[in-house]
Amino acid sequence: MSKTKVHPDQKYIDGLAANDSVIIQSIYKKYVPKVVMFIMNNSGDRDHAQDVVQEVLILLFNQAKANSLELTCPFDAYFFLLCKRKWLNELKKTSNKGVTIIEDAVSINESALELIGQTEEFDEKQQLFDTMFQKLGDKCKELLKLSFEIKSMEEVAEKLNVTYGYVRKKKSLCVGQLTQWIQEAKNFNSLKND
């Protein structure tokens, strides 16, 4: 696969990662109305549309923060397609009938579809991690959250008012348990090829 050039619309992804209110307002002004109209024309209402937009923006924020999103197509096509697929999947969940996602081949290029695939896979991995993380005990969750925020284990130990040795051992046990649960999850094998 050849390395594709980053699209100028990467500014929207970078703006989301930086929580830039000007960029976020710009997304709402330029791109959200199209999503709202699509959802309202496809068995939804304004509240459904806002929920879908929020979920997609949070997903993009998380993926951008993880530095795993380089836009290689226009933001408009990418954002709209993500929202559209999320809404159609919601419809599929709430109805007994299957929903077939038919892409408009004229408006979507290969790099947009490739990015959508990466983002949906990132979302699945994030959901699996979050689900397994919630199974951990409160002490493990607190320790791991602090170690994500604070890089120095000495500071984590100080903040928790325990020894450095205890923090290292406990973190190792917590990560081990989390890893085991993730690997035992039924959808782990389909997600691990990245």
For residue 1, is pLDDT > 50? no
- Count CB-CB contacts under 10 A for residue 18: 13
Question: pLDDT tens digits for 64-96?
Answer: 888 777 888 888 888 988 898 888 888 887 775
Count of all residues that appear for the chain in the document: 194
Question: pLDDT band for position 194 (50/70/90)?
Answer: very low
Left (φ > 0), alpha (ψ -120 to 50) or beta: where does 67 sit? Answer: left
Question: pLDDT band for position 188 (50/70/90)?
Answer: low
Question: pLDDT tens digits for 127-139?
Answer: 777 888 888 888 8
User: pTM here?
Assistant: 0.57
Question: pLDDT tens digits for 9-46?
Answer: 889 999 988 989 999 999 999 999 999 998 888 888 99
CA distance 4 to 178: 35
For residue 106, is pLDDT > 70? no
